[in-house]
Structure 1
């Protein structure tokens, strides 16, 4: 009975951790055993079933290399020639109140002459939206090297680091950071109190809005963070013509006296 109870509690706790959102930025993932967010990372096996591991040593190559920070790093073994491809997927991100978000990390990707693995970075804006690639690294890197800051959309839900093997040595990732410019605390509170209604959703030609306070600006972003519509208004209610947009998911950001309100719109 105790064993069953312990197992049930463990499952519940793991589910809570795995589904928890990251809400404080900058957020750094160290991949250490002590990391409070490491358990929230998941894996998507695109080709075959090679898993990322959290290790103190590389599975192949990189002899003597230690973690960039701490003792452990994310390690893609690279022990086959079968073009294995796996995404290491972050916990859910809630970037409300963050502007100009970016992701960066340190990596090692040595070739096993002449073979070289591919390391790619993706984001998606919901659990069901497609992954969008933002970067690819395919060169011989033998010491910890920064990926550089890569811009991600303000409505990013998750990021993923993907490795595809071509029999190169193990690919390593450490010190991943998601950051941006935070709004002030007062702005964040105001944003949470915004009372704007949007309808219908999904929208086909027109998206209506109603607010208890005056709306000044409405911007619409696509799933790669590009602003596709921008309206200057001064009213409590009105409509936006969205007929020119292609079908898909968009982020609507509305500016009022109380701050910025975000809304996910589906265009038919």
Structure 2
């Protein structure tokens, strides 16, 4: 009799510790102890590896996922047996994602108190788990205290038809937390030596928070811990151009701590360039060190590349062997090419210079805009107007940089109109002392403007025909446009202040800082 009892006990599902966490990262098959009940067709719960994809798992590489089917699902993903113990294993949490807004997936969460079979899941813990569709995961939590003293199975049940994908990650069973974990952890501004992060407090938040951080791949428990009394923090003393990871948890006071959030990552920027003139000629086939490509629309298809000729080989680099080019066959795609951060605070008259070419394709011309930020947390502000007309030969451009700072950012943004692309070369940031605003007549190679400061009429003297003249505020607002060859501009209607004057002539696109008295 004792032998039979022992054999029966050994045959029962067993969890040495009723607490557990499953992130599905140990392999590409359903973990040992878990069960898939497939009541539909061949599409059922499986492990999906998101390594190298456009979206990621909530943590690690893998998720438990179920894909679309033309017939209705009738499928369960079932946990191992869980012995619910008060203060030990009476709280269920998981992260869920519905991947496509056009085909939203939902699941329900069910409980069996007997066996891991479909007929045994007679209790519904949550009738509809329906996260907002997209790339983000959302955390769901449920109190299991009604089952204290019982052994249960949790079933994640899908019954949808012809939708898309539903992902589960970081399923855990543990004690009811004294206070909830933060959610919505976000990386805000990243600099060369610090990063600002924030999160959303849970309904049972603690009085303070802990943030543990370290280099990418560090073992949790060995990192640096800082404390914040608000739902944000600045992580200090970081190394430039280095990857970091961090976790956040609530401090519940005498009741301990909440669970840590899933890991988040960021990479610090390069230290701001402080030696000028700074130049970049794009002479290698890869993005220059400390530059960045940022897709605005179009994802991975919207990128800048470094080429030896443009789309129809009509443009070759201004300085060999390569130039930077934005070109894509999808109209409307946009991407920014970001310079390294710049410390131009000590420059008397900082100026951006570059050469531009953009060749038409059956009348269509790709568009270039220049943006700046005086601080990384600021919104982008456009410098002057867009470059929307063809430049079949290299156009030399110079633009004064307003609102100088110690962490200045500049971006070239290309927009595809299905043309031959946008090419830039010989980018430089200089201290153009000859462009300083003073009471002297200001001279460039072929343009003289005077007087500056100006009260009523600004004179422009050039040995070339002027194609257009534009005046902008320092915030990028276009104030005045003159589309003709004129040598005088009436500025009497402008308010007192500093403006940017843009003069376009053959082969030149020059901007000047002027003061209106």
* In 1: Cα distance, 2:339 partner to 2:397 partner: 17
Q: Which residue of 1 aligns with 2:359?
A: 110
2:318 pairs with one of 65, 68, 77: 68
- The structure having more radius of gyration, on CA atoms, is 2
Task: Flag the 1:176–1:18 CA change in 2: closer, same or farther, 3 A.
Answer: same
Aligned residues: 173
Task: Flag the 1:98–1:34 CA change in 2: closer, same or farther, 3 A.
Answer: farther
Q: Which residue of 2 aligns with 1:246?
A: none
Higher relative contact order (CA 8 A, sep 6+): 1
Deviation at 1:224, TM superposition (A): 4.5
CA contact (8 A) 2:367 2:387 kept: yes
* In 2: Cα distance, 1:140 partner to 1:57 partner: 17
Where do 5+ consecutive residues of structure 2 fail to align? 1-216, 218-238, 244-267, 434-473, 477-517
1:51 pairs with one of 290, 299, 303: 303
Deviation at 1:32, TM superposition (A): 1.6
Q: Which residue of 2 aligns with 1:88?
A: 337
Structure with more of its chain in helix, by fraction: 1
Where do 5+ consecutive residues of structure 1 fail to align? 1-7, 183-222, 226-268
SS at 2:398 equivalent: coil
1:137 pairs with one of 376, 387, 396: 387
Deviation at 1:31, TM superposition (A): 1.2
Task: Flag the 1:67–1:111 CA change in 2: closer, same or farther, 3 A.
Answer: same
* In 2: Cα distance, 1:177 partner to 1:167 partner: 28
Moved segments of 4+, more than 4 Å: none
Deviation at 1:13, TM superposition (A): 9.0
Deviations 1:155-175 (A, max 9, x none): 261100010011111110000
Q: Which residue of 1 aligns with 2:289?
A: 39
Please give the root-mean-square deviation of Cα atoms over the aligned residues, in Å.
3.0
Q: Which residue of 2 aligns with 1:119?
A: 368
Q: Which residue of 2 aligns with 1:160?
A: 411
Q: Which residue of 1 aligns with 2:422?
A: 171
2:405 counterpart of 1:148: no
TM (norm. structure 2) is 0.31
